[in-house]
Amino acid sequence: MAAESKSYWFSNQVSENRTDWSLNADARIDIVRGSEIKADAHYIRLHEPRGTDLTGGLVAGDPAEPTELARTGFGAEFSHTLNRVRLSLGASLDQFDYQDTPRVLPAIPAAFNNDDRDRSVTEFFAKAAIEATADTAVFIRGRLSEHDFTQAVDDDGFNRDSSGWGIDGGIEFSMTHVLVGELFAGYTSRSYDDVAFAETSDIAFGAGLKWFPTMLTTISFDGQRSIEDTSITAASGYISTRGQLSLDHELLRNVILSGRIGYENAEYQDLVRNDDILRGGLSGRFLINNNLHLDAGWEYIDRNSSALPFEYATGQFSFALTGKM
């Protein structure tokens, strides 16, 4: 079980100040040799910085502070290994609860209504992996999902409930503990309850790689293509193609330096809008003790959009004090 709290304070734009916290728990039960059940649960209270979905600013009508949201969920997975074959079945449930966002006054209404973003996401998966060598396995995986929004229709009159499926195959490997990860590719589809939204289907792929060039340095790459929910008016969702390269280096036993750069393309469906988002950051972490660490870093975000009101660029330097139990 783990608990974490992180606070952000801004010297000029104090309305951006926020504290995020989370609770996590996991368990594992070994039934018999080769069979196990894993379960996890989490409750996360966090904030969506201004500029994520809204332009943000200091003029009347703009968001006056970050949007607060809670994410509650749990998951379970059963796995069984028979000779060189490993079979897995799993399910998860996540609930998202957004708070209304106050607006810079004078404004009517005085807050952005986020109730139509509240939803639950249920997912099921089945996976079969065959061990090809001692450190490599090939797998095939299938997924089913249901996205159920709390409100029957959103503020614009759209029903955003949807169901989806996907199938992919790939390879997972651990090459002498120097390079570990997985690569996969497949197909995904999502259909919507509202007749105004067309079914979205596309190729899906992803990668999660970690390279350890030295005992003190880790280079990671994470990327994925998937269909995501959105609250943008008249858009059913968007196809997200994203990737991030990051580097972590242990300068001292209690000092870790990090850098990352990432890119995302968001292709909105049922709407003529395409976003290109570039993210980058440099940071350092000082481990005060086993339960407390101090972070300092600089982050840059640049979003170019075919919908001009949603373009923005921002850079910020921040300190964060994190406590864990």
| Burial 227-250, CB ≥16 within 10 A → b, else e | bebbbbeebbbbbbbbbbebbbee
Give φ, ψ of 145 to 5 degrees.
-145, 150
pLDDT of 233: 87
* Average pLDDT score over residue span 210-220: 95
pLDDT of 55: 45
Return the half-sphere exposure (C-beta side, CA atoms, 13 A cut-off) of residue 64: 14
Q: SS3 of 31, please?
A: strand
* Average pLDDT score over residue span 30-49: 93
How much of the chain, in percent, has pLDDT values that exceed 70?
Answer: 98
Segments making up each domain of the chain, as ranges: 2-324
Residue 50 predicted with pLDDT over 80: no
- pLDDT tens for each residue of 172-192: 998 777 999 999 999 999 999
pLDDT of 53: 47
pLDDT of 309: 76
- pLDDT tens for each residue of 105-155: 888 888 989 999 999 999 999 999 999 988 899 999 999 999 999 999 998
Give φ, ψ of 308 to 5 degrees.
-55, -35
Task: Give the C-alpha separation, 175 to 132, whole Å.
Answer: 13
Query: pTM, whole model, 2 decimals?
Result: 0.87
pLDDT of 10: 75
pLDDT of 64: 86
pLDDT of 51: 60
Least confident of 8-17, 171-180, 241-250: 8-17
Task: Give the C-alpha separation, 291 to 283, whole Å.
Answer: 19
Q: What is the CATH number of domain 2-324?
A: 2.40.160
Residue 28 predicted with pLDDT over 60: yes
* Average pLDDT score over residue span 201-209: 96
- pLDDT tens for each residue of 73-116: 999 999 999 989 999 999 999 999 999 999 888 888 889 899 99
Task: Give the C-alpha separation, 258 to 108, whole Å.
Answer: 43
